[in-house]
Amino acid sequence: MLYDKDVTTNFLQGKKLAFIGYGSQGHAQANNLRDSGFDVIVGVRPGKSFDKAKKDGFQVYSVAEAAKKADWVQLLTPDEIMPDVYKEQVAPYLEAGNVLGFSHGFNIHFKEIVPPAGVDVVMMAPKGPGNLCRRTYVEGSGVPALYATYQDASGHAEDLAKEFAKGNGAARAGLLKTTFKEETEEDLFGEQNVLMGGITSLIETGFEVLVEAGYSPELAYFEVDHEMKLICDLIYEGGFAKMYNDCSNTSEYGSYTRGPKVVNAESRAAMKQNLREIQDGTFAKEFMADFRNGFKKLYAYRAEMEKSQLQQVGEELRARMPFVKNEDKYSD
């Protein structure tokens, strides 16, 4: 792990940084780098994000104008629209000596974007959502980040990536070196099999089993959904050891003896298959094909989720719990 004291070069000073997109990550990174003393502009299409960036005091331009003016172009639009944004509004204005930056390797690794020779291509991937990156920066800390280089035209691409991460506050928490390939494949695997796909499937299945057995939907929600945060917080703070220490012996024993019956050899085989489909590009092709077809599958899955009993019961209960906040004070 590298920290602030380990990042001592100064190649980023004097560069104009253009953040393309002003959503969760764009907002956080633009504000963090500006607060760290760098020259930051924002490139975004007219609308809510454009107005918000203006309100926050940035010079805001169209994407093409920002790309023309910048030495560093940080692409922070959604993965699916990034190739078209790059091709139409960024690529025509890249010059030798520029830096093209990413916070996820998806489009580079799967060749949706093929950068020209003569530019550095780097990545700084915070290991947390944008709102957390901004909040922790303001509080004087940060979230850890990965950094990587894909193309080193200047001979200083790695230094630039580390300096950019430091400016974002990430070196306060720690930097780890990776590659575009490794970050992309691990990130997709984690999202699909554990952090989002795995957890949501586990919660939903547990909820359905309890309700089908005649238990109250409200109690089922509290048991398998609401308490998930409490358990995850303990793991976040001190690993499995702290979680088990803060829970009962009964729950710990049941975890060791029953948990592996749920996430078992069949689950492992499914995870391995999912990983293969990430590695060979099957998932990326499927995802981009659905996007180019109007996201028909994605929107159908989303609609099904929104009308589920779990979602509806949860919304009713959360509305009665004022301590559960559905916003972040640094999100604007």
The annotation places the binding site for Mg(2+) at: 187, 191, 223, 227
Give a three-class secondary structure readout of the chain.
Answer: CECHHHCCCCCCCCCEEEEECCCHHHHHHHHHHHHCCCEEEEECCCCHHHHHHHHCCCEEECHHHHHHHCCEEEECCCCCCHHHHHHHHHHHHCCCCCEEEECCCHHHHCCCCCCCCCCEEEEEEECCCHHHHHHHHHCCCCCCEEEEEEECCCCCHHHHHHHHHHHCCHHHCCEEECCHHHHHHHHHHHHHHHHCHHHHHHHHHHHHHHHHCCCCHHHHHHHHHHHHHHHHHHHHHHHHHHHHHHCCHHHHHHHHHHHHHHCCHHHHHHHHHHHHHHHCCHHHHHHHHHHHCCCHHHHHHHHHHHCCHHHHHHHHHHCCCCCCCCCCCCCC
Q: 104 catalytic, yes or no?
A: yes
Bind-site residues for NADP(+) = 22-25, 45, 49, 130
Q: Find tokens 């999912």 and name the residue.
A: 274
Bind-site residues = 22-25, 45, 49, 130, 187, 191, 223, 227, 248
Q: Which of 27, 104, 156, 226 is catalytic?
A: 104
Active-site residues: which are they? 104
